[in-house]
Amino acid sequence: MNPTLAIEPSVFYFGTPVALLSTLMPGDETANITPISSAWALDDTYVLGLSNSGRAMRNLRENGELVINLPDAALWESIERIADTTGVAEVPRHKREKYRYEPDKWTLGRFTPRPSGVVLPPRIAECPVQMEARVTNMTPLGEDGDATIVHAKVLRTHVHQALTVPGTSHIDLNAWNPVYYTFRHYFSQGERVGVSFRAEQ
């Protein structure tokens, strides 16, 4: 057996897909983009972990609609271009050392907005998967209240045609190459090592 060692990691990002949330700014109907790596799906609900000091959380409290855009690995540089920015004009004190205000992340990240069908925030055209969603629940995280767990129900899913298996609603796994965030580094998907008994063939 391999021996173990008790450690105290500064982060617990062992490997999660990156998502780009587009949310509506209150008042002017422009949209903000927020990169996150705390996101996972349970049936048709996405569970998102969001900082209360960020623009996305503030927007969702006002509007409750969003698009969960899933980039592929080729977009990692676009993600990083907006990673140190915030849509909050008065940058929170704890972020000022590393973050700066950016009102137009679309141009900075070289992203293209596309109208959504059932929600107000736009989709990101470059992302191969774009899921229109609506918030169904918000739960404070932790005793200090710095973050919130958001449940968002997926209402409509858009996928680049080249990513689909023709004549089905299945994703072509040989074409899908999501970008993963692992201990603050970007990784693409590795080789397939097996298939679950639940996989639809």
**Percent of the chain whose pLDDT exceeds 90:** 76
Structure confidence at residue 201 as a pLDDT band (50, 70, 90): low
Q: How far is CA 47 from CA 9, 134, 135, 180, 186, in A?
A: 23, 12, 10, 17, 21
Q: What is the pLDDT of residue 110?
A: 97
Q: How far is CA 24 from CA 55, 60, 77, 108, in A?
A: 10, 8, 24, 18
| The pTM of the whole model exceeds 0.75 | yes
Q: What is the pLDDT of residue 65?
A: 98
Structure confidence at residue 5 as a pLDDT band (50, 70, 90): very high
Structure confidence at residue 93 as a pLDDT band (50, 70, 90): confident
Average pLDDT over residues 97-103: 90
Average pLDDT over residues 58-87: 96
* Residue 11, CA atoms < 13 Å, CB-side half-sphere: 11
Average pLDDT over residues 17-21: 97
Average pLDDT over residues 139-153: 91
Residue (of 189, 190, 183, 178) closest to 18 by Cα position: 178
Question: Of all helices (H) and strands (E), which one includes residue 170?
Answer: none
* Of 39-48, 64-73, 190-199, the least confident: 190-199
Number of CB atoms found within 10 A of residue 163's CB: 17
Question: Sign of torsion, CA 113 117 121 68?
Answer: negative
20 vs 144: which has the higher pLDDT: 20
Both tokens of residue 154? 């997926």
Residue (of 191, 131, 122, 189) closest to 155 by Cα position: 131
Contact 73, 189 (CB under 8 A): yes
Contact 117, 156 (CB under 8 A): yes
25-29, 62-66, 93-97, 100-104: which is most confident: 62-66
Number of CB atoms found within 10 A of residue 15's CB: 11
| Residue 34 φ then ψ, to 5° | -125, 115
Both tokens of residue 39? 């996101």
**Domains with residue ranges and CATH for the chain:** 16-187 (2.30.110.10)
